[in-house]
Amino acid sequence: MKYDLVLFDFDGTLMNTSPGIFYCARQAMTELGLPIRPDVNMNLFVGPPLGDCFRLTFGLEEQYVDKACDIYRKYYSTVGRFKAEFYPNVIESLGKLKKMGLPMGITTMKGGNLAQLMVDHFGLSEYIFKVVGADLKGRRTKADLVNQATEEFGLADARQRVLLVGDTMLDAEGARIAGTDFLGVSFGFGQFSKEQRAKFRHPLMEDFSELPVFVS
């Protein structure tokens, strides 16, 4: 096999979590009594640390950011995290990777505890060995998470044998900085530009069913 470890982003890569994410973001703005522009691009809310999501998506002033994050987490931990669905062929493909003996992990900008709860709830713990999540203050970068995962899997000195699968430039940059390979997906929230795709080592993965062949 080409790799000794495959790491996955979560939101927009393994699962379409946008219904829950967007619902909780809008609830936070509503509770704060703040308007939401009709033309707001909600896809900006997926990927970066939570505080940055509010800044980028809604142009939220700094005085409201911490409170908005608290409200968002309140709704997401009780309601939002259940509003998600797998992308086509994810479970089948993870099953094939498991049969191949390929270790798998998740690196996500979600908080680690919440991410683990979702992994358990949706039955991913059968395939995923380790979940590395962000800190609540949003200080850790994607590269930090990838570095931690490679170290915990004992591959800190073999990063070229690690593949990160993701849907945003945040993932691509995290892999580049951490020194791992990267495979982007054509679905999810990232919408890579033609110029961005041209710089990638591999063409985008159109469907998860392609992954077992790609890594073998």
Token duo for residue 145: 């998470």
- Give CB contacts under 8 A, 24+ apart, made by 154-158: 155/4, 155/5, 158/4
Burial of 157 (0-12, 13-18, 19+ CB in 10 A): exposed
Measured distance CA(145)–CA(148) in Å, rounded:
5
What's this model's pTM, rounded to 2 decimal places?
Answer: 0.88
Report the pLDDT value the prediction gives residue 138, as an integer from 0 to 100. 66
CB 67 within 8 A of CB 54: no
Which of 12, 111, 37, 40 lies closest to 69 in space, CA to CA?
Answer: 111
Report the pLDDT value the prediction gives residue 194, as an integer from 0 to 100. 93
Q: Give 15's DSSP letter.
A: E
Q: Where are the alpha helices (DSSP H) in 59-141?
A: 62-78, 90-99, 112-121
Q: CATH second-level architecture of 18-82?
A: Orthogonal Bundle (1.10)
Report the pLDDT value the prediction gives residue 55, as an integer from 0 to 100. 96
CATH number of 5-16+85-215, picked from 3.40.50.1000, 2.40.50.1020, 3.40.630.30, 3.90.1150.10: 3.40.50.1000
Report the pLDDT value the prediction gives residue 139, as an integer from 0 to 100. 79
Residues whose CB falls within 8 Å of the CB of residue 38, separated by 6 or more in sequence, listed in order: none
Give 10-residue mean pLDDT values along the chain (216 residues): 97 94 96 94 87 95 96 94 96 98 96 91 96 83 97 96 97 97 92 92 97 97
Burial of 161 (0-12, 13-18, 19+ CB in 10 A): middle
Domain locations along the chain = 5-16+85-215, 18-82
**How many residues in the chain?**
216
